[in-house]
Chain A
Amino acid sequence: MTTRVMRSGVIDAPAEAVWHLLRDFNGHGSWHPAIAQSRIEAGEPADLVGAVRAFSLQDGSFLREQLIALSDREMSFTYCLLDSPIPLHGYLARLQLRPVTDGGRCLLVWESSFTPPPAQAESLARLVGENIYEAGIAALQRHFGGAVPASREAAPATGVAAAPMLAAAAPQVVLSRPATRSTLQSAGASLAATAIRVEQYGGPEVMHLAEVTVPPPGPGEIRLQQTAIGVNFIDIYCRRGDFSLLQLPGIPGMEATGLVIDIGAGVADLSIGDRVAYAGPPIGAYADIRNVPADLVVRIPADLDDRTVAAAYLKGVTVDFLLQDVHSLKRGETVLLRAAAGGLGLLLSQAAKAAGARVIGVVSTPAKAEAARQAGCDEVLIQGRAEPGPLAPALQALTAGKGVDVVFDGGGGDTYAESLDCLGLRGHLISLGQASGAIGARDIDQLVAKSVTVSRPNFAHYNLDRETRRQRAARLFQSLRRGEIKVWPATALPLEAAAEAHRQLESRSNIGTYLLLP
């Protein structure tokens, strides 16, 4: 006679974050209160179908279970009992997550069937349902920060004589944050990681893959398992030694998405398993595991994927502060946008157009011109190796001799003079970068000829406090979720190909963004 048990509960976290924790067949000790220790036999990976976990409970009982099926697509896994001190014959269980699209939560369904001796069927069903499934679900609910529903009863100790195995676990174990941290295998331990290291400033060839050790997070820090790293031109400037942001030897990179795997002292509002993104110093994003200040990260909405966020976050926040704080565009203003088909350019085109400006993009090839047009540029000028002529004549024609109101220029020294030339009276030149090298010393007095303003904004200065960072992220995420901004699919390269990503970016061959995948 087959007994079936099913328990289900809502967990207040996106399905992907909960799945990331659950799918580790050997990780149940980090969230289930009944588990004391666990290991995978024969050194196999925990997500190898057929892997066997050998584990002990708090009362000393020893069990072995085998992974029968695992699906990331369905967010479910199935396993069976091989060895156990109680007669759960033929025990086959399945755990599945389903997203609640109406709110960033998920449903966990845990069910099993087994054939116990008839006299024990009822008590064993209660033991499995309450001490294993309900206790596990409640622990996960607390782990992800939600309130435990009022219907939960205390102390589900049942049939102690018939179930000595879990008697010790019967009193509800409340997993407070410190206990969760101490049962996590990585907590308190340094982790071996892989990162790109730079030992001297120079070209892309100075970046090497290296093994590094990441200590446990300090006070106010979190440790991240990174999932996608955004490549930005600031990384190139740092690698060249233009700024002192990258101290030697050091790890470059300013932007990534990842999962929180460890929490340092004093961090109250993040949980292990949270999916987060960050942009900005401290430098060090080109790694698979790293520590960052908890204040720097923002949670990623459940309906945005890591790669889209890693491709758009730093650049999207840049667009936000440029148009909110550096130059608030008025309807009808004319904007000249260099590198209009680059990662930042494609986002800035769309935003400038949405603000009602007339956008003239500058690109170096016809293929890029098409992308720039799709991003909203009203006109596109091609100025590249094949057609190196000056912009001013074409711009004079397009603006009836008046020049443009705003220039966004990341070119640096080589393009500064020409950008000034393109401006009309009371125009604003916003220097975003220095791809060709620093602008250097220039004559301020010449600016009076057209009453020009020159800005050289620094990303960090426009993102100094946590509230500002959160507001910029919220605006950007909302636009992304509503489909108001299009993010071109990024070129994704493995982390070890960081030098190649820099080479391609510096050769100006790219449309859109590069990502490094750890």
Chain B
Amino acid sequence: MNKTAMTLASQVELAREAGRHTHHFHGGLHLRHNKKISCRDPVVRPALPELLIVPLLQHAGDIAEPFVSAGEKVLKGQRIGQCQPSAAVHSPVSGTVEAVENRPMSHPSGQPGPCVVIRPDGNEQWVELEPVSDWENASPETLIAKIQDCGLVGLGGAVFPTHAKTRDGRDRQIHTLILNGSECEPYISCDEMLMREQPDKIILGARVLRRALGAERVVIAIEDQMGAVQKALTRAAKLAGSKNISVVKVMTIYPEGGERQLIQVLTGLEVPAGGRPSDLGMVCQNVATAAAVADAVVEGKPLIERYITVTGNGISQPRNFQALVGTPFSHLVAACGDYTDDVARLVVGGPMMGYPIATDDTPVVKASNCLLALTHRDIADPQPEMPCIRCGECARVCPATLLPQQLHLQIKTGLWDQVQEYGLSACIECGCCDYVCPSHIPLVEWFRYGKGEQRKRALESEATELARKRFEDREARLLRFKQERAEKMTRRKQLLKDKAGRGDRIRDAIARAENRVTRTGETPDDA
């Protein structure tokens, strides 16, 4: 629906109706769900691993500065790293720091990064927890500060610091908090399990976040295939006696769970290009983030644990865990009865947007929602890449209504002005185009490259602009100097001329004086 003609203010008004009717977004894919295999057993905490590897970069922003060094004792929940203005990192166990060193991190780059390696002592001794007392009457700023203290980040995958998003939302007059429970990628079921098992905590977290944001309503979006979840959440909301919390079922179409797509489904509105959901008066948080907010504010517990799905045909007994941050994936796989024989690839996240990891001693981080072990059959042999035949399938499935086939060509040939015009920046890298491409062109890879190149070009043009300005300023300065010098010259010349003139004047004066003297001599007291 084209609502671009509407003013932003009227769009914000319309956004208040979020969830009353559901709408559609463009494109998307119906994918095989594959979620049931990991939902059969209740979620358990695995045994403590021998070592925990806690990366210092688990959030959007800079690497956290470590507070601890090798040999130091730490308590469970103790802060071990901090990065202003992003999120803090806490020790998931009580024990001894073995080392602070570079280890393979769970990160799309695959590069090793600084990690705090902790050997647990098994006592699970907590640091003294400081919950916010009476959060219902606490100031929003207190709540936000607590959220920041506890190292909360968005658990849906973007790991944007929660306190920053909340504070920004508060400043921008949010009316609706959307909790995203529509986990649209195949295989992943950790949010569904969380909603089934801890609906009260999610509702509690939602209320805390609502207060911190100053929002009026909460809309929890879940998939239409999660019947039990809707009941559980609705009941929990009723129990909490809280009004204005609604649970809305949305169709299961990938990438429904994308923030912009979900907002479009709930409101029929599109987040303005280059803008944020807060432009429409909305903030979107993952349901797991809400549960973590409840833990942080009401119990004072930092974010050191999360629900994670360990699944795929490469795992003997797929299931969900409540795993400590820092637990090596290999430990979770062992708790699932090890790999099957034909395991071929390990992916963190879902099959559409997840990234592969090279070794399984990579640890769980705040963002890890799923460890997916795929077999050769699941991924199939890499097909040869063929030229684009412009069939347009990619454009049909693109949720951002872009023309991927054109963008691909433009990036390939370096037509950067057109790349800009055709809206590369609106690409959410969902991978729908990749999936349907009959020529097997790695489109998302091209688009990431294109975005990087655009950033580089923007920086370059900034530098060029600066250099140009410098040059122009210098030219202007030189011109000014020249003019000043010329002026000075003329002034001096004038002065010289004046001096010559002054000589005359002096002569005149002398003449006048002499005159006077003569006259005075004749009649001294005449006057």
Q: Do A and B come from one complex?
A: no
